[in-house]
Amino acid sequence: MLGPLEVTGPNGSMPIPGARERAVLTALIVAAGDAVTSDRLIEAVWGDRAPPSALKVLHNVVLRIRKLLGAAVIGTRPDGYALTAPGDAIDVYRFDCLVRTGRAHAAGGEWEQASAALSAAVTLWRGPPLQDLDQWGPGQREAARLLECHRCVEEERAEAELACGRHRELVAPLELMVREEPLRERRWALLMSALYRSGRQADALRAFQRARTALADIGVEPGRELTDLERAISVRDDALEVHGEIGVTPSLARVTRPATTLRRHNLPAGVTRFVGRAAELVEVQRLLGRARLLTLTGVGGAGKTRLAVEAAAGVISTYPDGVWLLELAPLTDEAVILSPLTAALGITVGGTDTALDVEDAVCTHLASRQVLLIFDNCEHLIAPVARLVNSLLTRCPGLSVLATSWDWPARCRSWCRICPSHPVTAPT
């Protein structure tokens, strides 16, 4: 999946010759074992130009895949089909698992283990992902998520390598990374740190000027993290000193990491124990690893908010740029719906900025970040929240959203890339 579709078995590669077969198999893999309706599979193959015989053709396509890979690979469900292959047999799932492992090690300061896991994740890539779904909306969104995650993982691996003291070996790879993505400030910060720690202060400062020039092409200035690092390098701040060949001082980690890693969530501390609902908690956390939009619905007082907060608290290490709770219950006017979002993310807006200006600023802030947003109590602001979530998910591929509401319209559930027709429901 992480490149041209390739299926291997005990006897080597097993070619999937037809474009329809590849599209159906890829769509089933994206669904991660959940049932995919025939209508959605038809959409994945033909888009909005399905012929009258599409359903019959789809059945024949599934039969051909089963003949190639074995009848047990695809299971029949009342509303469609589902892939039955184990997760560790699919590179996308192995990639996500390695990324979670690497980030957990990094959060605990275990840099060698983080470097090993993240390096293993990067080596799984063979090219652009999900190439057979480039005309299908859900496939495009999943491909965008994977591409953005890959970019972030490359940066996180470089950060882990830097923390392990391998700064000299990192200079050349980081030079290539900034040439590939000159607008990603995190890459410039890593390059500047590697150059400085290699005894090349002047080159590190020149790298900052190169970053400023690249960003000026789109009319922006370097962010605070990058300018703070440039200032620290220029005065040879003690925070940048390395003691020994291996390891990194805590202050250097603060300089080279994005500011959001210092305050990684705003979840409230529980005043009572979380009792029961263990199965629901595990299921929500499992689905958070597979869906960009997940909804918890149920009657008032069922415990949706507590379940959402407990689930999010257990996956903070999965989101390097933070988990942020947005409490919408006190809001009565949709005009101020962006206020808790900008407050949580630490985004400053001007008094004359329009709602669209603020939304653009939020999207720019989140565009290259891995963040989980919790929209809590959406029921009285369904329409504006739905529009905002749609915009954020479309423009920010690294973003995931967990929402709680008495109800959530079908058009919002359809954005969930894994289980669009089956939201998770809190127990009543």
Contacts of 235 (CB under 8 A, 6+ apart): none
Task: Tell me the pairing of strands 371-376 and 399-405.
Answer: parallel
Q: Could you read off the pLDDT of 289-310 as tens digits, one per residue?
A: 778 899 898 777 778 888 998 8
CA 26 – CA 13 distance, rounded (Å): 16
Contacts of 131 (CB under 8 A, 6+ apart): 3, 4, 5
Query: Is residue 271 situated within a structural domain?
Result: no
CATH number reported for the structural domain that contains residue 295 in this entry: 3.40.50.300
CA 147 – CA 127 distance, rounded (Å): 10
Domain boundary pick from 89, 113, 146: 89
Task: Pick the closest to residue 404 from 318, 327, 321, 319 (CA basis).
Answer: 327
Above pLDDT 90, what percent of the chain? 24
Task: Pick the closest to residue 210 from 196, 197, 191, 231 (CA basis).
Answer: 191
pLDDT at 270: 67
Q: Which residue has the higher pLDDT, 91 or 416?
A: 91
Q: Which residue has the higher pLDDT, 308 or 138?
A: 308
Q: Could you read off the pLDDT of 174-215 as tens digits, one per residue?
A: 999 999 999 889 999 999 999 999 999 999 999 999 999 998
Is residue 261 scored above 80 in pLDDT? no
Residue with structure tokens 């329809």? 20
Domain boundary pick from 89, 109, 125: 89
Q: What is the largest CA-CA distance in the chain?
A: 71
CATH number reported for the structural domain that contains residue 250 in this entry: 1.25.40.10
Domain that holds residue 327: 278-425
CATH number reported for the structural domain that contains residue 23 in this entry: 1.10.10.10
Is 375 within 8 Å of 404 (Cβ atoms)?
A: yes
pLDDT at 131: 82
CA 297 – CA 410 distance, rounded (Å): 12
In the chain, count H helices and then E strands. Answer: 17, 10
Q: What angle do CA 152, 156, 158 make, to 5 degrees?
A: 120
Strands (E), 262-377: 293-297, 323-327, 371-376
One domain for residues 290 and 402: yes
- Overall average pLDDT of the 307-322 stretch: 84
One domain for residues 31 and 85: yes
Is residue 155 scored above 50 in pLDDT? yes
Contacts of 342 (CB under 8 A, 6+ apart): 348, 349, 358, 361, 362
Task: Pick the closest to residue 376 from 319, 318, 290, 298 (CA basis).
Answer: 298
User: Is residue 222 classed exposed, middle or buried when 0-12, 13-18 and 19+ CB atoms within 10 A define those classes?
Assistant: buried
Residue 82's φ and ψ, nearest 5 degrees, are -145, 145
Task: Tell me the pairing of strands 293-297 and 80-83.
Answer: unpaired
- Overall average pLDDT of the 272-301 stretch: 81
Quick one: pLDDT band at residue 426, thresholds 50, 70, 90?
very low
pLDDT at 136: 77
One domain for residues 243 and 333: no
Element (H, E) at 37: strand 36-37
One domain for residues 151 and 40: no
Q: Which residue has the higher pLDDT, 316 or 164?
A: 164
Quick one: pLDDT band at residue 424, thresholds 50, 70, 90?
very low
CA 252 – CA 123 distance, rounded (Å): 28
Most confident of 222-236, 291-305, 320-334: 222-236
CA 337 – CA 376 distance, rounded (Å): 12
Query: Is residue 329 situated within a structural domain?
Result: yes
Q: Could you read off the pLDDT of 156-167 as tens digits, one per residue?
A: 999 999 999 899
Tokens of 321: 């740029």
CA 341 – CA 139 distance, rounded (Å): 28
Domain count, the chain: 3
Domain boundary pick from 25, 58, 89: 89
Is residue 30 scored above 90 in pLDDT? no
Is residue 173 scored above 90 in pLDDT? yes
DSSP-assigned letters across all residues of 169-221: HHHHHHHHHHHH-TT-HHHHHHHHHHHHHTT-HHHHHHHHHHHHHHHHTTT--
One domain for residues 416 and 320: yes
Is 296 within 8 Å of 402 (Cβ atoms)?
A: yes
One domain for residues 82 and 96: no
One domain for residues 196 and 296: no
pLDDT at 260: 34
Is residue 242 scored above 70 in pLDDT? no
DSSP-assigned letters across all residues of 267-293: PPPPSS---S-HHHHHHHHHHHTT-SE
Provide the mean pLDDT of the chain: 81
- Overall average pLDDT of the 257-267 stretch: 54
Query: Is residue 264 situated within a structural domain?
Result: no
One domain for residues 253 and 108: yes
pLDDT at 57: 93
- Overall average pLDDT of the 83-100 stretch: 83
Is residue 375 scored above 60 in pLDDT? yes
Tokens of 295: 């909804």
Task: Pick the closest to residue 373 from 407, 409, 337, 349 (CA basis).
Answer: 337
Secondary structure of residue 126 in the 3-state scheme:
coil
